[in-house]
Homo-oligomer: A and B are copies of this chain.
Amino acid sequence: MDSFSALPLVVLAEKFAALPGIGMKTAQRLAYAVMEMPQADAEAFAEAILAAKTQIHDCPVCQNLTEQAVCPICSNVKRDKTTVCVVEGPKDVAAIERTHEYDGVYHVLHGLISPLDGITPDHLRIPQLLSRIKEGGISEIIMATNPSVEGEATAMYISRLCKPLDVRVTRLAFGLPVGGVIEYTDEVTLFRALTNRSEM
């Protein structure tokens, strides 16, 4: 923000700009919007930020974010505890829940193995996953990491650790996205769609 703007506004715009996908122009617009808010709304906004940080912690079972002792999915008796879906982050849990088709539980890694970014397996919640499997009662691990280099490497790495523990390890299917167009589909996806073709 320009130096002739009020300093607290510049500081606030910089905070917004530090968020992912928010450029300096948008950050300035948001800072002005905060200025135009009623005082009570601005206070509620500031409190929501602090509340999110202080009240939310990782579920001791699945490592997903929760404000409860154990997250609602892990504490739900109707969920199938024998199937564990392993995902990169809480956003992936939200995405899979939106399908309303999965009734198992999750394990949130909080990242993917990425040696170039300095993220080694030690940074992820892999030991917690192995402990859950060793405690027994789990028959299948679904690797639901992104189809990226890091996602594939993490899935491979965890799969190799899990197999000796006498548990089935599966991977999400890859293929054409529903509503996708073959003409515009990249070669790798098309190759996967061909190899994973199914009987009609």
Contact = CB atoms under 8 A, between A and B. Distances in A.
A35 B52 contact: yes
A47 interface: yes
Contact of A6 (B7, B46, B47, B56): B56
A56 B35 contact: yes
A67 interface: yes
Main secondary structure of the interface of A (DSSP, over half): helix
A53 interface: yes
A90 interface: yes
A154 to B, nearest CB: 18
B50 A2 contact: no
List the 8 closest A-B pairs by CB distance, nearest first: A46-B46, A12-B48, A12-B52, A46-B49, A42-B53, A8-B52, A15-B45, A8-B51
